A and B are shown apart, each in its own frame.
Chain A
């Protein structure tokens, strides 16, 4: 029986994008079903009753929610092009950085743009320095080494959305002089085929954020 893979999605959502990158990286055929988060569909309420959010992956009708949980599931089921290292210690480290990006980096970034409370980039500069150091220590193109892994994918928001928000708001955060490795990583990451194929159109994103900043 052929696998049936569907993704309850939303254009412009970084967490949906993460899952799409993982699916495309592994060459998995899937149907994207865009959702309306204002008038939530019966399917969304049925398949993610707890959070009522996207992304939701449906694999042969079985739902999985939470983007990082979905990506680990995808990696568990489809073995080609792994996004997690095999070694248990390396795997734990990758999971740690992915969680750090969600727990610490993203909220700090939102704060740096004044999108969550008073505008203050201090925390974001500190968190981004950890990522800059991690790339320095690794001395490689990506957090995953020569190819992208779970950590790179988790940082999609940083790689693409932040640039759009910078343009829309006029606030610079990830500058070449402060974060040379991270800046290069952003360029390299968005140029990966699976990422390119999953990202929303940049102009639309900038326009959306310009609206948010009243520009």
Chain B
């Protein structure tokens, strides 16, 4: 499809926000060059290409100035390659509904896992687990509405929310093991649990979700540099 020199992605294998963009590139069969960034010793490229946030992912397309923020990058890719595996629906209300839940996942759901990492007291962790479970319940209800009895948030095919939530599965599993709890389970979130199994084995996702070793190494660095 796209030539490999056309798209470059600056990122870190362990970043779910980077994985998100990788899923979309995979789904659209777009070749790209991956430039590995060290988030604990940020490169000149990162500092100059995303000075406002100094975060990954950063997308370079042809000779255009760089683009940052994963959800914005995803919508951009969807607009420049609209005919290959569309990610967002075309109906305005459906688009708004999808964007609303992406915002929820990014501002309310996943930050709980980041907070969990920084919380050390037993009581603190229990309080966050409770919040995660409540949030998962909301996501289960959302999944039921979006999927309408089908396999994915996008229905028969993976679409926007499958990508937006799916990228966190590696870290969610890591946190579940480390903190001895289940964010998704058979009783409270049966449909989401089934969905996670499909995402883990999906062609476009399985190679982009980082393995445990990558996550453990990254986690150790986080604990060291950003406790």
A residues lining the B interface (CB < 8 Å): 50, 59, 62, 64-66, 69-70, 72-73, 76-77, 88-89, 91-93, 95-96, 99-100, 103-104, 127, 130
Contact = CB atoms under 8 A, between A and B. Distances in A.
Interface stretch (B68-76, B173-181, B193-201): B68-76
B91 to A, nearest CB: 9
Residue picked from B61, B80, B97, most chain A C-beta under 10 Å: B97
List 6 A-B pairs, minimum CB-CB distance, nearest first: A76-B92, A88-B79, A73-B96, A92-B76, A64-B96, A69-B99
Interface residues of B, number: 24
Nearest to A65: B100
Contacts of A88: 76, 79-80
6 contacts: A64-B96, A64-B97, A77-B92, A88-B79, A91-B75, A99-B69
A91 B100 contact: no
Interface residues of chain A: helix, strand, loop or mixed (majority) = helix
Interface string B38-75: 00000000000001110000000100100111001101
B72 A92 contact: yes
A62 B93 contact: yes
Nearest to B93: A62
Given A66-B103, A92-B72, A96-B72, A50 B67 contact: no
A66 B103 CA distance: 9
Contacts of B52: 100, 104, 127, 130
B118 interface: no
Contacts of B75: 91-92, 95
B95 interface: yes
Residue picked from A62, A89, A93, A104, most chain B C-beta under 10 Å: A89
A184 B38 CA distance: 40
B80 A73 contact: no
Residue picked from B61, B73, B103, most chain A C-beta under 10 Å: B103
A186 to B, nearest CB: 20
B100 A104 contact: no
Contacts of A69: 96, 99-100, 103
Given A73-B92, A73-B95, A77-B92, A96 B69 contact: yes
A88 B96 CA distance: 18
B69 A72 contact: no
Contacts of B79: 88, 91
B61 to A, nearest CB: 8
A40 B39 CA distance: 43
Nearest to A64: B96
